[in-house]
Structure 1
Amino acid sequence: MKKLVVSMMTSLLLLVGINWNTNTAVEAQAGSLVYTSQSAVAKVVKPKTVASSTKATTSSKTKEAMKVNYSTLIQSSGWQPKVNNGKTSGTVGKGKRLEAIKIELSNPEFKGGITYQTNVQSKGWLGWKSNGQVSGTQGESKRLEAIKIKLTGEMEKKYDVYYRVHSETFGWQGWAKNGESAGTLGFGFRLEGMEIKLVKKGNKAPGTINNTFRDGNKKYVDAKGKGLIKGSSSKIYHLPNSQYYKSTTKPKAMFATEVQAIKAGYRPAK
């Protein structure tokens, strides 16, 4: 009897084994046992997750900062690449004249533009130019001697435009702004370099605002018309109220204008 029971159980197990191995894989939808045809080993299969929809990425281009761009035409070198925001355009120490300039705003924060006027050798002050137009001359070998720059429209209310020039003999002069003259007049000195910056209305200037413009024909005389500019023994001239004016107690010459002092062989005090 026992042998019969053992035989029947063995047969039953063999039958189950056959079915187990021949069945195809069965998978429950919610993560159940999987039976493969290769083995009777059960594996737990994690439920498939539906890929969540990717959030749409909004690519918004960052607006470029506002700039004042400018380019100068240099003697024997031609037009220079644009520079901006206070960088030097032109040359320093090479004795080359500026002959023309172009100025423009890029990405202005407010409505408006920029306008400028140059003083040119033998021509005087030219008409106002704006927004990238050429001011000066091309192909005439004439030097720029002075410049005025100002903003227009809403920009003029929100920003100040500062500018300074590097002039022959005087070097870097102070920062002028908003239509003031920068450079020289009457000396016949060339402009050699220039820097321009935008500053929020009312904020400080980029540097000194002294000595922005020199009019060589301006008269420095007393009530009797006698010249007050002192020429020292070292061939340097001193303007009234300048640093060494009072200490120059034994001047070698007196002049009414700076042009007179220059023509006499004197050079300006630094």
Structure 2
Amino acid sequence: MTATTVDGAKTASSKVTVANPVNEVNGLPSVAYQGHVQNIGWQDYVRDGALSGTEGRSLRVEGFKIKLENAPAGLKIKYKTHVQNIGWQDWVYDGAMAGTQGRSLRVEALQIALEGTDADKYSVVYQAHVENEGWQNWVQDGQVSGSFGKSQRIEALRIKIVEKSSVSPSVLYQGHVQNIGWQDYVKNGDLSGTQGKSLRIEGFKIKLENAPAGLRVKYKAHVQNIGWQDWVYDGALAGTQGKSLRVEALQIALEGADADKYTIKYQAHVQNVGWQNWVQDGQITGTFGKSQRIEALRIIITKK
């Protein structure tokens, strides 16, 4: 900071460090992190959801360091990377380097988790900016962000610490629609499919975001000429692709950790019927035996 007198004759400067600008106000631990970036080297530490790495420059993150500030004694942060030509490395802790330096290898995926004192009170949430994909959805508490087996670099990263009570799961879903193909993912009650265009949904994928570790979504479709398919989980395809077959009915349910604490609700827009009533937790929406297509879908997840 530089101060200048009114007449401009004198100035004085002072360096000021602002620690934990976000979480200090909220009384939460802060997370500080820095990336080692292609052609740049180690960047400065950033904190609490700020961007580390680069965006729009096609530069790989080669390594990173993560540490906690203002954390309870005994609370630790651990993290690991999936690195080009190496695979998954071991967990490291509290400011140690994950990835590599001086080897020109890209970080492709990562996991971050909390451990120790009060780890049950906080969640670490994070998202990666990935080559050819852009920003992925936020994940948390040891879930994988990035990709592996696709030779895609992580280009940037954001990390936050939040209270567990403040993290609400979201449901994301996308439909494969006649004459359109795969639409983009939508979330939390937004419309997937079409309305007023008489186009069938042929398949769909559903996944959770910011969900407790171990909580899963499962779903199954009743398909023209096939009938009920088996349950699939967490982003897998239900229905068909490339067969021109309509989805006629579906069921969606939660399974695993904390499934008893949440309800998943959904409704279908059906040919000649319009929007049906909301149903939940494995109940059937749509029809079967009537040769009617599902044209659109909405899904939400709520606490019981």
Into which bin does the TM-score normalised by the smaller protein fall?
0.5 to 0.7
User: Which deviations, in whole Å up to 9, do the C-alpha atoms of 1:150-191 show, x marking residues without a partner?
Assistant: 011113111010011000111111111111111101100000
Unpaired segments ≥5 residues, structure 1 = 1-62, 212-229, 252-270
Q: State the secondary structure of the residue aligned to 1:165.
A: strand
| Pair 1:164 & 2:118 matched | no
**CA shift for structure 1 position 112:** 1.3
* From 83, 88, 95, the counterpart of 1:120: 83
Equivalent-residue separation in structure 1 for 2:154 and 2:31 (angstroms): 20
Query: Match of 1:13?
Result: none
Measure, in 2, the Cα distance between the counterparts of 1:121 and 1:237: 31
Percent identity between matched residues is 34
8 Å contact 1:118–1:144 — kept in the other structure?
yes
C-alpha distance in 1 between matches for 2:86 and 2:179: 36
Is the contact between residue 203 and residue 241 of structure 2 (CA under 8 Å) also seen in structure 1? no
Normalization by structure 1: what TM-score?
0.55
Equivalent residues in 2 for 1:1-270, closer than 5 Å: 65=24, 66-204=29-167, 241-242=204-205
Separation in 1, partners of 2:84, 2:101: 13
User: In structure 2, how many angstroms separate the alpha carbons of the residues matched to 1:240 and 1:148?
Assistant: 30
Q: Which residue identity is paired with 2:161?
A: L
Q: 1:94 to 1:235 in 2, by over 3 A?
A: farther
Letter in 1 for 2:146: G
Q: Is the 8 A contact 1:161 1:196 kept in 2?
A: yes
Equivalents in 1 of 2:113, 2:74: separation in Å? Answer: 14
Structure-2 separation of matches of 1:118 and 1:152:
17
Higher helix fraction (1 or 2): 1
Q: Closer, same or farther in 2 for the Cα pair 1:210/1:144, shift >3 Å?
A: farther
1:123-154: CA deviations, max 9, x gaps? Answer: 00001110000000000000000000001111
> Larger radius of gyration, structure 1 or 2?
1
Query: RMSD of the TM alignment (CA)?
Result: 3.3
Structure 1 ranges of 4+ moved more than 3 A: 207-211, 232-240, 242-251
Between the aligned partners of 1:167 and 1:208, the Cα distance in structure 2 is: 21
Query: Taking structure 1 as reference, are residues 81 and 208 closer, same or farther at Cα in structure 2, changes over 3 Å only?
Result: farther
- Structure 1 residue 109: Cα displacement: 3.3
Question: Does the 8 A contact of 2:50 with 2:159 survive in 1?
Answer: yes
1:193 alignment partner AA: A
Distance change (3 Å), C-alpha of 1:75 and 1:125:
same
Instruction: Give 1:241 deviation, angstroms.
Output: 1.8
Indicate conservation of the 8 Å contact 1:174/1:209, yes or no. no
Q: Deviations over 1:73-131 (max 9, x none)?
A: 00001101100001110111110000000000011035311000000001000011100
Three-state SS of the structure 2 residue aligned to 1:155 is coil
Following superposition, the deviation at residue 242 of structure 1 comes to: 3.9
- Contact residue 110 and residue 155 of structure 1 kept, 8 A: no
The size of the alignment, in residue pairs, is 169
Tell me how far apart the structure 2 counterparts of residues 67 and 136 of structure 1 sit (CA, whole Å): 22
Cα offset for 1:209?
Answer: 7.2
